[in-house]
Amino acid sequence: MYPARALRVVLEPNLSSAKHTTVCIKPASDFQGASIYVERAGQLHLVVSEAGGARPHQVSCFSAHTPQRVALFLQASPQRDISRRTASFQYELLGNQSAAGPDFKKMTLVKAMCRPCDNVELLMAICSSDFVVKGSIRNVSHDSENHMSQVDVNVQKVYRQKNRIFQQDEASGEWRGPIRTLLQCKVKKGAGDFLFTGNEHFGEAWLGCAPRFKDFSFIYHAARERRANPCEFQLN
């Protein structure tokens, strides 16, 4: 708060054995008072500029040139008054990711599966996803400026969620929640029940596999009979 001079921030995982190679940062919508640079080979490279304005969905990803740590440099901007300014951002450290540019469309962190998942990917998704819910599509909206689509879901059952993205509406009593995906996936509203899976990034749910529920049920039961399911999943 009230940025002045400069601040060096070193991001590193809490496990020494972790080998994170990519860091993604998302400035707060009210980010102001400073610019963010990343250190590379002793040089500073601009990542977020206060002059350019921090957009709510602006996410920048870049590879770490040194193992297990990334250094950011926050440089305060000259100010003519003492009004309150806050330079805040979220970050995620990623492992086994290819280097990504600052273009949100190319961001490996939120790489959505535009193609349908195969059976193996689907069975793994129910085991490893941050959220797994059964529901129907209430509405689909598109944001061309930020290259995103949002799927609003009426939820029938929450099997798993990392945080409270899917919540009960106080007025109607229905469970609902938004799921994001890339605009290029061209998601459309479809009838029927689906099994929505995916991961959370920066407090938002991002779509992974989303088969029709009856198709998933058939695939899971067939795999279970062959003892080929990677984990147990309580359908009922």
| Full DSSP string of 73-115 | EEEEPP-SS----B--EEEEEEES-----S-GGG-GGG----S
Q: What is the CATH number of domain 117-226?
A: 2.40.50.120
Q: Report the pLDDT value the prediction gives residue 109, as an integer from 0 to 100.
A: 41
Amino acid at 236: N
What is the pTM (predicted TM-score) of this model?
A: 0.69
Domain coordinates in residue numbering, the chain: 6-96, 117-226
Q: Report the pLDDT value the prediction gives residue 54, as an integer from 0 to 100.
A: 56
H or E element that contains 199: strand 194-201
H or E element that contains 62: strand 60-63
Q: Distance (Å, rounded) from C-alpha 13 to C-alpha 28?
A: 22
Phi, psi of 125 (to 5 degrees): -60, -40
Query: What is the full per-residue pLDDT of the chain (236 aa) written as tens digits?
Result: 888 888 998 887 665 555 656 778 888 888 888 999 988 778 888 888 876 655 655 777 777 666 667 889 999 988 777 778 888 888 887 665 433 333 444 444 444 457 788 999 999 999 999 999 999 999 999 988 777 889 999 999 999 998 889 999 888 889 999 998 888 888 889 899 999 999 888 888 989 999 999 999 999 999 999 999 999 998 77
Q: How many CB atoms lie within 10 A of CB 3?
A: 19
Q: Which of 211, 26, 18 is nearest to 113 (CA)?
A: 211
Q: Report the pLDDT value the prediction gives residue 104, as an integer from 0 to 100.
A: 42
Ramachandran region, residue 16 (left: φ > 0; alpha: ψ -120 to 50; beta: rest): alpha
